[in-house]
Amino acid sequence: MNTLPTTSPPPVIRNPVLPGFHPDPSLVYADGWYYLATSTFEWYPGVPVHRSADLVHWELLGHILDRPGLLDLRGVPDSGGVWAPSLSWHDGLFRLAYSVVRTTDGPYKDIDNFLTTAPDVLGPWSEPVYLNSSGIDPSLFHDEDGRTWLLNTRWDHRPDRPSFDGILLQEYDAEKQSLIGEPVNILRHKDELIEGPNLYRRDGWYVLLLAEGGTGWNHGIRAARSRKLTGPYSLDPAGALLTTRDAPEEPFQKAGHGELVRTPEGEWFLAHLASRPLHTPQGPRCVLGRETCIQRVTWTEEGWPRLAHGTVRPRAEVPAPMSAPRDAAPGFSRPVRDEFDAAELGPEWSTLRTPAGPEWLSLAERPGWLRLRGRRSTFSLFEQSLVARPLPSVRCEAETVLDFRPSRFSQLAGLICWYDTGTHYYLRAGHSEGRGRVLGVVCADQGAYSELRESELAVDAWPLLYLRVVFDGPVMRFSASPDGCDWRQVGPECDATRLSDDYGSRLRFTGAHVGLCAQDLDGGRSPADFGWFSLRDH
């Protein structure tokens, strides 16, 4: 019997390509690889870099801002820190322009913009060059004549002026390592705030890609262009290239802030952020924060970019580049379980504001265990002993095993579900006078602190503490076990949607994380040992 030969289906890009907290993507092609860099805000190290050969399958390589000389985040506010980095490749050198935002409340931002370079994306990266402090979202444009230009959003603190006061352009001199000449404001948009500028040269046009409308539900991307570098620039008369601002039924919301890349075969793609909200009685809430997606782009005869599928809405599946192999497996590789048997933590882990140092974190003092020495409280903007990973799904579970013997109420350790210093849930072991070791849930809700003592477990006789949290859409549940088999719920069912960008009244940009932490509020740095950690979808 004759049978027809089977062929694999054409490869597709499945969005989000980077699920969970991966906002403000910057996409570049260099030497056969695509690289994605994203924002990290108060998380350390700064700016993770993912790599792909085909835009389909992505792997995390490491971080660019991985030492104190490149990044000082001590004391930055929640959702401050590293905003919207932009990665470029020119003349055999990677360049990263990035902002550090040190004030978020009130009219000011107190921004510093820096540049670091490296011949390899894994570094070593150069000591940072200070650029300016005039506004957020710096990016570099390398023109065909060999000159390099810095773009950034102009910030205006005056109450009678628009805060987002257009796009500044200024030349950068690589030999002098400084900006030269005077900045020129090349575009103001009276109807919508604009930010996230990136400049491209195509068919005699300077094409300016902009984030439009703010990074919330009104977010979008729009193009402008000019025959001259310094303008004047005209906005695309068709409106947004990408947005869901008028389509609340779309699964991807807040779509905006992106960068373009051209493949070696001449195809164009757009990396952008988007969020997938949970719909609750209180409104939509994005627990996973802002994620990275990729769309295919074509150009009109008039020279304007358009999404290839013919609408302005992001799609969940997009045809991959023509060079992508047919057996390319879509997805994002991430470890499910960490046995803590390596010499150092993997790049999927982050700390808050300061690097992981031997004074508080060790994988060697007790081989096969992660030892955290307790430091300041979960409300601290300075020295927390906390390691965490972004939540990968709204339906997932995290587990660990803890060996910890506190002797005072000020010594705490456990499993934490984190949004920021003001909002988090904490399944923590502590000491209670007369009861010994106890296990219970602590809740921080926009700065209001509470301990759910009525549901605490007396666990002094347990040899080890097995801890678990299950995220089930809008709710989450903590449980514990003395042996990893007999599980008991700890505390009530909690509202997981509080751990979202959309809960509360302050600026919130970072999505939910889950991780491990320890405190010793007396300054004794008592140790807490974790035997392993797992984080998996369910």
CB atoms within 10 A of CB 63: 23
What stretches of 91-163 adopt beta strand conformation (E)?
93-101, 111-118, 129-132, 139-142, 148-155
Catalytic residue among 192, 250, 383, 456: 383
Task: Please state, in angstroms and rounded to a whole number, the distance separating the CA atoms of residues 122 and 145.
Answer: 28
Residue 258, token pair as written in the block: 């992106």
Name the token pair of 398.
Answer: 């995290």
How many Å apart are CA 73 and CA 87, to the nearest integer? 20
Tell me, letter by letter, the H, E, C secondary structure of 126-141: CCCEEEECCCCCCEEE
Question: Which value, in Å, is the radius of gyration of the alpha carbons in the chain?
Answer: 24
d(Cα 273, Cα 25) in Å, to the nearest integer? 7
Q: How many CA atoms lie within 13 A of 190 on its CB side?
A: 1
CB atoms within 10 A of CB 367: 9
CA distances from 99 to 22, 125, 134, 225, 496 (A): 16, 16, 10, 25, 30
Cβ–Cβ under 8 Å, residues 105 and 77: yes
Runs of H (alpha helix) within 370-421: none
Residue given tokens 């990275």 in the structure block: 292
Buried b (16+ CB within 10 A) or exposed e, 498-514: bbbbbbbeeebbbbbbb
Helices (H) and strands (E) in the chain, counts: 0, 43
Q: Hey, is 372 helix, strand or coil?
A: strand
- Three-class SS state of 195: strand
Q: Cα–Cα distance between 418 and 420 in angstroms, integer? A: 6
408 in Cβ contact with 431 (< 8 Å): yes
C-alpha–C-alpha distance, residues 333 and 340, integer Å: 19
* Amino acid at the residue 64: I
Q: How far apart are CA 376 and CA 398, in angstroms?
A: 24
**Three-state SS string across 254-288, please?**
EEEEEEEEECCCCCEEEEEEEECCEEECCEEECCC
For 444, 448, 472, the CA distances from 17, given in Å and listed in that order, are 32, 36, 22
Q: How far is CA 348 from CA 21, 332, 336, 400, in A?
A: 12, 12, 10, 16
Quick check: is 383 catalytic?
yes
Residues designated as active site: 383
